[in-house]
Structure 1
Amino acid sequence: MLAILVIIFVIVTGTSSQLCDPGKTVLLTNHSFDGLKYNKGEYFMDRKTGEERGCICLKKPCAQKCCPFSQAYDPTTGMCVPTTQAFEIPVYVNGKSNKIEGFNSTKEFHYLIGIPECSASAELNESLIYSPVSGGVGMQRDGKLYVEIPNALPNAIIYEPDKYCIDTFLGDDGSSVLNALICFASKPERNNYELSSSCMLISCFFILLTVAVYAWLPELRNLHGMVLIAYLLSFFVGFLFLATMQILIMVEEVTENICLVFTFIVYFSLLSAFFWLNVMCYDIWWTFSGKRAHGRSGTQHKRFLYYALYAFGVPTALTVLMAILEFSEFLPVQHPLLPMIRLQGCFLYGNSKLLYLYGPIVVLCVANMTFFALTAFKIAKIKRETKVLQGGESSTHDQERKDTQRFSLYIKLFTVMGINWILEVVSSFYPDADVFWQFSDAYNVLVGFIIFVIFVCKKKTWRMIKK
């Protein structure tokens, strides 16, 4: 037992004594370095030397320079050579190279010196050298490298400090240019657009087929049918525009303006679909709460209008908010609230996707599960009461049976969509997992087909169609 405690103590003290990479530390004197005071949690004691080391990147942005100051990088020999060239770098703010008054990169950044150590799956590559007119490389104020890519979407790639080193590069003719060495994946990024767009279009066909059946049959054009149609149409528009956007990217016919418009449409549509799914879950709970209005068409239409105001209103507000923040110049670049659609390419990526898309979806899913749990308890209670009161009105029992069947359909739909978005979220965290992406894309085909099977391929529906 004592030995186990000793091992645990060693592990804990070993991990807690070193807060950051040794290469990103500075020697402190009385908890200070270069006029900056280091607080608890920003420095540690080196157990080997007894020195007090401060994590410099916690106090100011870190950047990486290939060679020491007063030296430049010779790409021919791969060596650092003395130079009299001044080391000056442009700073990019909101995707534009701006000269900021009073900004001194050597004071604002802490430069880590050396060539980056690339992982086994990456190799070092000299970035493309652009003329000052067409673009270039520079720094963001947070220390990340900004590599501009003219006439492309996204129009820039941003690299963390441990993935690059920037410096003055010397040419054979004695010229010099600001450039960078970048770690990039040796395996080219797999383009899933062809498979993904095809799968979504197939799914769109089955979704539209389901909508056609519900719109054609008068018996299905009740409140619950209209809610389902609104949900499916929102889902259809989202998938259709997302597939179209991916096709345009493949044929290189997409512009920044088209990308923005499509992104807002897809975002609004997908979010609306999940809000309509939330309406379904609320409506089934409301039905079993005892507040019925089955035969009153006026009341049902009024409820549908309230539902539409909620299911379309909230996504509209969120889309407008996202658009305002996208074009806002009040927040600093790389602010966590910025969607950065134009910097990252079409649609949302990374933290923006987590905040604006997955965030609301998670909240809605939790609410849906709560409604389902409450409804399930209510159904169990009704079944117990039905066994006791066998002589109750048969019409009431028939209605309860229909509502229970509808509850079962919504459970199936929620499960289908839950699996779909779990795959989507996991895929975004593992972009190199080709097999997983293929499985996720294949499931996109099944989504529309499964919805068609759940809501159309029923004996009752087929009997209505035969009439």
Structure 2
Amino acid sequence: MQSFLIILVMITSTTSLCDEDHSVIKKDHNNFDLNTSAFTNSDKDDCECKKKVCARKCCPMGYGYVLEERKCVPTPDGFNPPVWKEHKLLEGFNATDDMHFLIGKMNCTIEKNESRIPLEPAIDTYHLRSDGQLYVDIPENIPSAFIYGPDKYCIDTFVNEKNETQLNALICFVVKPDNNNYAMSSSCMLISCFFILLTVAVYAFLPELRNLHGMVLMAYLLSFFVGFLFFATMQILILKKEIIQRECTILTFIIYFSLLSAFFWLNVMCYDIWWTFSGKRATSGRHGSVMKRFYCYAGYAFGVPTILTVILAALEFSDLPMQHPLLPMLRRQGCFLYGTSKLIYLYGPIVILCVANMIFFTLTAIKIARIKKDTEMLRSKDSSTHDQDRKDTQRMNLSCSRFSLYVKLFAVMGVNWILEVVSSFYPEADFFWQFSDAYNVLVGLIIFIIFVCKKKTFKLIKKRVKDFRKANTNNNEVTNISNKIVTRWRKGERNASVETIKTSVGGNTRNTTNDIFQL
């Protein structure tokens, strides 16, 4: 019984705050200051906003706002602004009847660098929405679309010096300073691009590394290179304010495709190393079969990101309502993905790929442990197949080495992905952003160290350089001999004829007619 009385008191006390006397703004507007356009009674409005959708009007009903004098004056013109649902005008919708208007200018926060500014004449693309929010489109700005709640705007009939009236609005506009992180971030990514491109150049230079694993690695690095390069370009253009929304959207699609392709190629690496240890790989090492397998990998690593990019573009340019969770809002939120869209379209596929990679790595590690155990058991027994055992051990060591490299690469990119996710949740943490940007330099450098800075690779480079020098030396010798032959032929030495020119080079006599035509 006592608890029932307590609940009853709580209910009556709550409802008493929003009874009939407290839910309607008084018609005389005793609490409204016409000179400052401020209305102080907010408790009554809070109660009314629980019943109807609330919007904000700068002055009381029957008054208009004079911008030059910053005060409200009586006006005979009625106030009934058009209302839109998303981007469609609602025909026959009466705003004053179906919505509750809060009276008075909004409070802009100085600490957040908010300034109270009028929309027109600078901005003419805006409208009041059915949910009480004000939609403002600024084409030259990135992001171009802004949504203001009733606490950050007021709409009204504005009166000019000639006593002419027009619908206009005041908004709390935030002039954000340039993001200083862009300068460091773009520089870091460009440095990383240099090391990534250097790694690709080494693998392309050495024939021994242009096997299936090397081609997959080069495709992965080139995808990451394109993504980093265009991301740095976007940030530089934003920093210099030389980018428009259309260019920003195009760059977003390129970066999105490139980054996803890089992670799908990383998934290909993890799958391929698992396939190597699974025993299902064909024993044939023919070039045709290797290239066929690489083309299948490329179809997967480039095909799926292409499909996801097309889906992203289709949803962006679709007629989905603005509040739809699947709408990417690339043209409204700024350059690249942001917020929920980033979580769904970028981090979502990356999470799935990372989970798949960890599964492949776990299965591969288990298989390696079993193979090593079986190998040790065979070595402990007398066997006549030592040569075959030695070959199998060499292949095993090579595969384990590749597995170790891929694990290191996955760890490097995993840390980079974790930093990216955390930094997106704390955009104002400058120290963390600087740490994340510095790590972008380390990505390219660490990849270069893992795959290039090895004794075996240096030996291959040294051998390749020697082969080039030797080939150039032989070519120079052949060229010198040919020049001597042609010179002697022109001078007519030894009464040689055009048909048969015989010369002595190094003590040997030979018919050089064929030699000339073969050069």
Which TM bucket (shorter chain)? 0.7 to 0.9
TM-score when scaled to structure 2? 0.71
C-alpha contact (below 8 Å) 1:165/1:182 kept by paired residues: no
C-alpha contact (below 8 Å) 2:108/2:115 kept by paired residues: no
Q: Does 1:415 align with 2:394?
A: no
State the one-letter code of the partner of 1:127.
I
C-alpha contact (below 8 Å) 2:271/2:360 kept by paired residues: yes
C-alpha contact (below 8 Å) 2:108/2:116 kept by paired residues: no
Aligned residue for 1:86?
A: 78
State percent identity of aligned pairs: 61
C-alpha contact (below 8 Å) 2:116/2:172 kept by paired residues: yes
* Distance in 2, Cα, partners of 1:430 & 1:82: 48
Q: Where does the alignment leave 5 or more consecutive residues of structure 1 unmatched?
A: 1-12, 29-52
Deviations 1:211-255 (A, max 9, x none): 001111111101110000000011111111111122222333323
* Distance in 1, Cα, partners of 2:259 & 2:205: 25
Deviation larger for 382-391 or 432-441: 382-391
Following superposition, the deviation at residue 137 of structure 1 comes to: 3.6
Aligned residue for 1:351?
A: 340
Aligned residue for 1:199?
A: 188
Q: Does 1:270 align with 2:259?
A: yes
* Distance in 2, Cα, partners of 1:54 & 1:359: 41
Counterparts of 1:225-244 in structure 2, within 5 Å, are 225-244=214-233
State the one-letter code of the partner of 1:422.
I
- Per the alignment, do residues 308 and 251 of structure 1 end up closer, same or farther by CA in structure 2, a change over 3 Å counting? same
- Per the alignment, do residues 415 and 127 of structure 1 end up closer, same or farther by CA in structure 2, a change over 3 Å counting? farther
Q: Does 1:316 align with 2:306?
A: yes
Deviation larger for 338-347 or 211-220: 338-347
Following superposition, the deviation at residue 465 of structure 1 comes to: 0.9
Following superposition, the deviation at residue 444 of structure 1 comes to: 1.1
SS at match of 1:130: coil
Following superposition, the deviation at residue 312 of structure 1 comes to: 0.4
Following superposition, the deviation at residue 180 of structure 1 comes to: 2.7
C-alpha contact (below 8 Å) 1:256/1:342 kept by paired residues: yes
Q: Pairwise CA RMSD of aligned residues? A: 3.4
Aligned residue for 1:300?
A: 290
* Distance in 2, Cα, partners of 1:373 & 1:116: 58
Counterparts of 1:173-188 in structure 2, within 5 Å, are 177-182=167-172, 184=174, 188=177
Following superposition, the deviation at residue 154 of structure 1 comes to: 2.5
* Distance in 2, Cα, partners of 1:109 & 1:297: 73
- Per the alignment, do residues 411 and 169 of structure 1 end up closer, same or farther by CA in structure 2, a change over 3 Å counting? farther
Counterparts of 1:20-419 in structure 2, within 5 Å, are 63-65=55-57, 69-70=61-62, 84-89=76-81, 99-106=89-96, 111=101, 121-122=111-112, 124-131=114-121, 134-168=123-157, 177-182=167-172, 184=174, 188=177, 190-293=179-282, 295-329=285-319, 331-390=320-379, 393-419=389-415
C-alpha contact (below 8 Å) 1:231/1:276 kept by paired residues: yes
Q: Does 1:431 align with 2:427?
A: yes
C-alpha contact (below 8 Å) 1:203/1:449 kept by paired residues: yes
SS at match of 1:146: strand
- Per the alignment, do residues 424 and 161 of structure 1 end up closer, same or farther by CA in structure 2, a change over 3 Å counting? farther
- Per the alignment, do residues 123 and 193 of structure 1 end up closer, same or farther by CA in structure 2, a change over 3 Å counting? closer
* Distance in 1, Cα, partners of 2:215 & 2:315: 34
- Per the alignment, do residues 408 and 126 of structure 1 end up closer, same or farther by CA in structure 2, a change over 3 Å counting? same
- Per the alignment, do residues 367 and 107 of structure 1 end up closer, same or farther by CA in structure 2, a change over 3 Å counting? farther
Aligned residue for 2:476?
A: none
Aligned residue for 1:460?
A: 456
- Per the alignment, do residues 61 and 437 of structure 1 end up closer, same or farther by CA in structure 2, a change over 3 Å counting? farther
State the one-letter code of the partner of 1:418.
G
Q: Where does the alignment leave 5 or more consecutive residues of structure 2 unmatched?
A: 1-6, 21-45, 381-385, 464-519
C-alpha contact (below 8 Å) 1:293/1:299 kept by paired residues: no
State the one-letter code of the partner of 1:138.
H
Following superposition, the deviation at residue 64 of structure 1 comes to: 4.5
Deviations 1:1-43 (A, max 9, x none): xxxxxxxxxxxx9xxx99xxx99x9779xxxxxxxxxxxxxxx
* Distance in 1, Cα, partners of 2:459 & 2:450: 15
Count residues in correspondence: 418
- Per the alignment, do residues 120 and 257 of structure 1 end up closer, same or farther by CA in structure 2, a change over 3 Å counting? closer
- Per the alignment, do residues 121 and 398 of structure 1 end up closer, same or farther by CA in structure 2, a change over 3 Å counting? farther
* Distance in 1, Cα, partners of 2:121 & 2:356: 54
- Per the alignment, do residues 466 and 432 of structure 1 end up closer, same or farther by CA in structure 2, a change over 3 Å counting? same
Following superposition, the deviation at residue 262 of structure 1 comes to: 1.5
Q: Which has the higher contact order (CA 8 A, sep 6+)?
A: 1
* Distance in 2, Cα, partners of 1:196 & 1:256: 21
Deviations 1:101-142 (A, max 9, x none): 23444566565566656679525521343228x524433455
Deviation larger for 341-350 or 249-258: 249-258
Larger Rg: 2
Following superposition, the deviation at residue 334 of structure 1 comes to: 3.2
Following superposition, the deviation at residue 54 of structure 1 comes to: 9.6
Deviations 1:190-211 (A, max 9, x none): 3432222111111111110000
TM-score when scaled to structure 1? 0.78
- Per the alignment, do residues 368 and 103 of structure 1 end up closer, same or farther by CA in structure 2, a change over 3 Å counting? farther
SS at match of 1:139: strand
* Distance in 1, Cα, partners of 2:67 & 2:121: 18
Aligned residue for 2:446?
A: 450
- Per the alignment, do residues 463 and 182 of structure 1 end up closer, same or farther by CA in structure 2, a change over 3 Å counting? same
State the one-letter code of the partner of 2:172.
I
State the one-letter code of the partner of 1:316.
T
Q: Does 1:441 align with 2:433?
A: no
- Per the alignment, do residues 337 and 54 of structure 1 end up closer, same or farther by CA in structure 2, a change over 3 Å counting? farther
